[in-house]
Amino acid sequence: MKITDVETILLRLPQVREIGDGCQTICVIRVSTDEGIVGIGEAHTNPLAARAIIESPLYSVSAQGLRQVLLGEDPRDINRLWDRMYRVSQTYGRRGLLMHALSGIDLALWDILGKSVGLPVHQLLGGARKRAHHAYASDLSQATLEATIDLALAHKANGYRAMKFGWGALGQDRKSDVRVAEQLRSALGPDFDIMIDMGFAVPLDHALYLGRAYAEHDLYFLEEPLSPDDLGGFAKLVAASPTPIATGEKASHELDYIDLMDRGQLRIIQPDIARMGGISAMLRVIAHAEARNVRVIPHCWSTDILVAATLHCISTMRDCPYLEFNATDNPLRTDLLVEPIRPHQGVIQVPDKPGLGIELREDTLARFRWQA
């Protein structure tokens, strides 16, 4: 089997807003083979930048486009191809955008491997420990606290037992930030898990204040209160905060996660499988985390492609209490697959068809294709 094409498909909503939603413009990747098997992936990043990295012609031995180094290769040689893509892009890569683009291709290669042998990806990884996972509804803070509470109650009525809010007006006034948690806890009751995502919006003293104050309202975790590069700040915050601290969605290399765990002292990390090297790298990060008794709760805020790939990985883990599920009303999330992935009473089943177990809707691709 040989790779015949690596295609980047850019999709964009008619109106893109300046909000914390990275699913308004997406980069779908299709890897085709001479045997008719097509793999599907997603690079969770700026789609134009990902396309440039994939489609770039030869510049030098260590600055090559990823497509040209894959053509003619056997897609089932995933480890070798991952190393080659990483090696030939070192001049401009190693972190960030390169890893984002490589991630999408890696997902597509695993999809091809599963389809070629008729097995779902989780069986290729050693088999699922769990075939269903609790999801937490992940949504954006609304314009008013009242509207945010109404949204939370709607998600609870739909069967979720946990929810995360983020961005919006958070981070501007610490007393207001605490009031959000207080009112949410009062409305949702004691048996509902609440997470708050600051989007690394606040200085260390603000984060320390929130870590202590949020403990009174039993938050499940406080996400990204600091810059992802502030390892010293995270170490201080984790040591002082009775509220668990989580971060990691902005990291793009397994060494970044080792730093977060060892230097930043994080006990919850949030790798994004479409940003940090795909399934291949996720497996290595999970192994590092489990060896340190660190909990992995992946970041998963994009399309059902990302949801499917994440489900396959976390199904093999010993301890992953939740899957993040983008609960916004967005057709790039809801209408992208022939069989959309949906929670039932807050629980999502792991796909069981060969590969990632997904199929793209061609009408959605045509409707939202971005000819940039």
Task: Judge whether residue 346 has pLDDT over 80.
Answer: yes
Q: Do 57 and 145 fall into the same domain?
A: no
Give the pLDDT band (50/70/90) at residue 170: confident
Q: Do 114 and 150 fall into the same domain?
A: no
Average pLDDT value for residue range 62-79 = 96
What's the CA gap between 274 and 282, in Å, rounded? Answer: 10
Q: How many domains does the chain have?
A: 2
Q: Do 111 and 223 fall into the same domain?
A: no
Q: Do 248 and 192 fall into the same domain?
A: yes
- From the centroid of its chain, how far is CA 99? 13
Q: Do 85 and 184 fall into the same domain?
A: no
Domain of 29, in residue numbers: 3-119+363-368
Instruction: Identify the pLDDT of residue 59.
Output: 84
pLDDT in tens, 329-343: 899 999 999 999 999
Give the pLDDT band (50/70/90) at residue 192: very high
Instruction: Identify the pLDDT of residue 204.
Output: 96
Task: Judge whether residue 246 has pLDDT over 70.
Answer: yes
Task: Judge whether residue 186 has pLDDT over 70.
Answer: yes
Proportion of the chain above pLDDT 90, given as a percent: 87
Contacts of 279 (CB under 8 A, 6+ apart): 106, 107, 110, 121, 125, 273, 309, 312, 313
Give the pLDDT band (50/70/90) at residue 169: low
Give the pLDDT band (50/70/90) at residue 326: very high
CATH number for the domain spanning 236: value is 3.20.20.120
Give the pLDDT band (50/70/90) at residue 42: very high
For 241-277, give one letter per residue: b (16+ CB within 10 A) or e: bebbbbbbbbbbbbebbbbbbeebbbbbbbbbbbbbb
Give the pLDDT band (50/70/90) at residue 60: confident
Instruction: Identify the pLDDT of residue 296.
Output: 98
Instruction: Identify the pLDDT of residue 22.
Output: 79
CATH number for the domain spanning 70: value is 3.30.390.10
Range in 158-172, 186-200, 323-337 with the lowest mean pLDDT: 158-172
What's the CA gap between 244 and 62, in Å, rounded? Answer: 41
Q: How far is CA 199 from CA 28, 41, 167, 222, in A?
A: 25, 26, 6, 10
Q: Do 99 and 165 fall into the same domain?
A: no
The token pair at 297 is 């709760």
- Helix, strand counts (H, E) of the chain: 14, 12
Task: Judge whether residue 30 has pLDDT over 70.
Answer: yes
Average pLDDT value for residue range 198-224 = 94
Task: Judge whether residue 144 has pLDDT over 90.
Answer: no
Q: Do 88 and 148 fall into the same domain?
A: no
Q: Do 141 and 211 fall into the same domain?
A: yes
Q: Do 238 and 267 fall into the same domain?
A: yes
Instruction: Identify the pLDDT of residue 260.
Output: 98
β-bridge partners, 30: 7, 40
Give the pLDDT band (50/70/90) at residue 88: very high
Mean of per-residue pLDDT scores for the chain = 95
Q: Do 93 and 161 fall into the same domain?
A: no
Instruction: Identify the pLDDT of residue 173.
Output: 85
Q: Do 146 and 53 fall into the same domain?
A: no
Q: Do 113 and 197 fall into the same domain?
A: no
**Rounded to two decimals, what is the model's pTM?**
0.96
Give the pLDDT band (50/70/90) at residue 249: very high
The token pair at 137 is 């509804």
**DSSP per residue, 187-207:** HH-TTSEEEEE--S-S-HHHH
